Amino acid sequence: MMTNLLREYVRELITEDVSFHELDSPLSYPRAYRDNVKRLAYCDSSVTEPPKHHDAYFVDYQKMIRFGKRGQRLKKPRKGEFIPGVSNVCIIGFLDYHADGKTSDGKQIWYIDYIKTRSDSRGKGVASKLIDEFFSRHVDPDGGIVQFGRMMREEIGHLKDKMAEKYPNVTITGAVYY
């Protein structure tokens, strides 16, 4: 019985596949040009269940406008902004970023627009893996600037501090909003 359990566990480890996909972000941010924002997505092929129907940015969502310009309630709500979800069920986290120029000595400035993890995958280190992958792919360890923008959660502040410790030659900033 114990060997069957061990075999099943090893089989799950072998078939588990985690990969990172880089693509254009479908979201728009006021700080960046639309076609400049890229997305680094964390895909875990062992996840086969779709996200919950209310998980923001992982399922499609149609905002409704319920009030007019002068504040009066509309008789019939009309469609507002459409927020697209992720295209693949295996994506359990993503990081949206863009290049924000260069420093005077030619080093790249990066701006992290948004980090999001699916609600059923929180607390499993997905955001940490995304940040590590982003830094290993794009950030020059000899210099440059990475801006975390408005950090709305304490966990993101810890990630910023972790990367500042790991990359002492890179200037890492972020505004605390938690």
Give the model confidence (pLDDT) of 35-74 as tens digits.
Answer: 789 999 999 888 888 887 778 888 888 999 999 999 999 9
Q: Can you give the C-alpha Rg of the chain in angstroms?
A: 20
What pLDDT score was predicted for residue 67?
96
HSE of 160 in the Cβ direction (CA atoms, 13 Å)? 22
The domain ranges of the chain are 16-176
Average pLDDT over residues 115-128: 91
Average pLDDT over residues 137-161: 93
CA dihedral 35, 53, 17, 141 (to 10 degrees): 40
Write down how long the chain is. 178
What pLDDT score was predicted for residue 72?
95
Q: In this predicted model, which residue has the larger pLDDT, 133 or 35? A: 133
**What is the distance between the alpha carbons of residues 171 and 164, in angstroms, rounded to a whole number?**
7
**DSSP-based three-state secondary structure for 9:** helix
Confidence at 135, pLDDT banded by 50, 70, 90: very high
Q: Which pTM does this prediction carry?
A: 0.82
**What is the distance between the alpha carbons of residues 96 and 132, in angstroms, rounded to a whole number?**
14
Give the model confidence (pLDDT) of 159-175 as tens digits.
Answer: 999 999 999 999 999 99
**What is the distance between the alpha carbons of residues 120 and 78, in angstroms, rounded to a whole number?**
31
The secondary structure of residue 34, as a DSSP letter, is G
Give the model confidence (pLDDT) of 11-24 as tens digits.
Answer: 555 546 788 999 88
**DSSP-based three-state secondary structure for 38:** strand
CB contact set of 174 (below 8 Å; sequence gap of 6+): 147, 148, 149, 150, 151, 156, 157, 160
Which tokens go with 61? 């969502």
What pLDDT score was predicted for residue 2?
63
CATH architecture of structural domain 16-176: 3-Layer(aba) Sandwich (3.40)
